[in-house]
Each structure stands twice: as structure tokens, then as C-alpha cells.
Amino acid sequence: MRRTRVVLFAGAGVLLAAGAAWAHHAFAAEFDVKKPVHFSGSITKLELTNPHAWIYVDVKGESGQVVNWAIEAGASPNILLRRGFTKASLPIGTAVVVDGYQAKDGSFKASGSDLTFPDGRKVFIGSSGAEGPGGDAKK
């Protein structure tokens, strides 16, 4: 009986660890360095969640249709806070310019590298690790 419980708890631990590893992916698993994006739009939502923050931006396309892009910040919310970036830094409706790399599947999702404000201030929202394009060289 005791052995069965130990095996069940160990199995549950392995499954939970595998789920966490699957959730935190490498840049190359989802985004394409050969698909750079550069666009301007206005902020619709900001999620400071682990392991990465998400910024949602309404962008007017060439046809005039508005598309909501999901921008993954390569940095965690804690790293963004250390860079001086808080939820108050990016109120809904703020105009921004986004630079990053589009998802491999062609969806309106990108890994962000830089966010530029109307006053010219630029915030590096990418990862400072080696998994993204540029790695530490961008800092």
C-alpha cells in the first residue's frame, strides 16, 4: 500500500514537471527569426504573467481592417519590473511601435524585442538570454 502511494506521488511529480517544461518553450520552437515584424498600434491589454508577459496591440492592416496582435515579451514580469516597466507604464490606448518576430504558423502572434513609445523612449521587452535572436547582444 505504501509503495503504491510513493509510485503515484512520484508519477504525479513527473507529469507536473513535464507540463511546466512544455509550457516554457524556446524561441525557435514557436517564432521565426526570418519573419521580423515592425508595426504601430494601440495597447488593448497587458498581462504580467509568468513565465512571460503578454502585450495585446490593435493594428490597422493595409486593407483598413483592425487586427489584434498578441506580443509575447521574452522577459518575465520580474525582469521587466527591474527594467522599470510596470503596468502603469503601458495604459490601455497607448500608441506604441512594436519590433519582433512573427509566429511560425503565421498567426497574429509575435515575440517582441522592442517597444517604442510616442516620445521615442524604447523598452527592450525581449529575453536577455541566448534563446532569442540577438540574445545578450541587444542589451
The dihedral through the CA atoms of 106, 26, 130, 112 has a sign that is positive
Domain extent listing, the chain? 27-138
Q: Which residue has the higher pLDDT, 137 or 114?
A: 114
pLDDT in tens, 68-127: 999 999 888 998 888 888 888 889 999 999 999 999 999 999 999 999 999 999 989 986
- How many CB atoms are closer than 10 A to CB 67? 13
Q: How far apart are the first and last CA of the chain?
A: 55
What is Dmax (Cα atoms) for the chain? 66
DSSP string for residues in 30-78: HEEEEEEEEEEEEEEEEE--SS--EEEEEEE-TTS-EEEEEEEESS-HH
Q: Which residue has the higher pLDDT, 134 or 123?
A: 123
What is the CATH code for 27-138?
2.40.50.140
pLDDT band at 129 (very low <50, low <70, confident <90, very high): very low
C-alpha cell at 57: 496591440
Average pLDDT, the chain: 79
pLDDT number for residue 5: 58
